[in-house]
Amino acid sequence: MRAAISVEAIKLTHSLVGAIATLAVVLGILGLLGGITAGVAGGNPELIAQAGPAAVLNWHGLLAGATQITAVATVLGFGIVLAWMFGREFIDGTITGLFALPISRGRIALGKLLVYALWATLVSTALVLGVVMLGLLAGYGPLDGDGWASLGRLWALALLSAGIAIPVAWIATLTRSLLGAVAGTIALVVAAQVGALAGAGGWMPLAAPALWAMTDGAAVSMLQLSLTVALALLFTALTWLAWSRLQLDR
């Protein structure tokens, strides 16, 4: 298992996909937040109207904006990395060589997911630290108790978004296609938005983390939020099972 984790970690850290996705998630979100902050400070009426709770030049506004952007951007970024990690084996033809290794394909899949989880945790932490730095540079001063709580929910939202994206690994395995996995990533984001608009709210695992973070935990219970964790664990098991049963003849 250690060998699988080591190999997958080397693949991810030496890939352009991993580097670009990391920069896109962290710097992309911070760049958007910086743009919103500058626009609000400049008195842009259209931006202020569209920003909603984020159109306030304090920690509350900054964290509200960060939560809104993170809810969508992290699922897309994490999903694309998962699509590459699993889909590339089929596109590049390297899946054939995995059958000759003295480790089961199921363990290889788990190794990929463990490396992915570690990477997503590091990215989520870097994002939160970046938001803190942005707030300090904007002159918002030290965080109060509510600010720290919102920051913690932002970090949890990013981690839960990593869990929401795990079905992409299963989709990549079933379709044996990188494009199919990317399409699955987009479908997850769309499904979350449709579910939220349809009123499913906290009972929809794909939408619950964002709703929980944006309402300061008021609109979603811990039971509802746990469904997101259950979804991640379910698709982790399904991915392991799919890789355990992989055959070369299809």
**Tokens representing residue 87 in the block:** 């889909």
pLDDT at 77 over 90: yes
- Domains of the chain, by residue range, sit at 2-244
The pLDDT value given to residue 111: 93
Q: How many H helices and E strands in the chain?
A: 11, 0
pLDDT band at 153 (very low <50, low <70, confident <90, very high): very high
Angle among Cα 71, 74, 75 to the nearest 5 degrees reads 85
Asked if residue 200 has pLDDT above 70, the reply is: no
Question: Which residue bears the tokens 């509510």?
Answer: 146
Determine the pLDDT at residue 182.
Answer: 92
What local confidence, expressed as pLDDT, does residue 199 receive?
63
Angle, to 10 degrees, between the axis of helix 105-137 and the axis of helix 167-175? 140
Q: Find how far residue 53's CA is from the centre of its chain.
A: 23
Q: Give the tokens for residue 8.
A: 């997958």
Confidence of residue 198 (pLDDT cuts 50, 70, 90): low
Please report the pLDDT score of residue 115 as a whole number: 95
Tens of pLDDT, residues 98-134: 777 778 888 999 999 999 999 999 999 999 999 999 9
Q: Mind listing the pLDDT tens digit for each residue in 225-250?
A: 999 999 999 999 999 999 998 876 65
| Structural element, H or E, at residue 118 | helix 105-137
Q: Residue 198's CB: how many other CB atoms inside 10 A? A: 10
Average pLDDT over residues 80-106: 85
Query: Does the pLDDT of residue 52 top 80, yes or no?
Result: no
Average pLDDT score over the chain: 88
On the question of pLDDT at 187 being above 70, the answer is: yes
pLDDT at 141: 87
pLDDT at residue 103, as a whole number: 83
In residues, how long is the chain? 250
Residue 14's pLDDT is 86
| pLDDT for the residue numbered 178 | 87
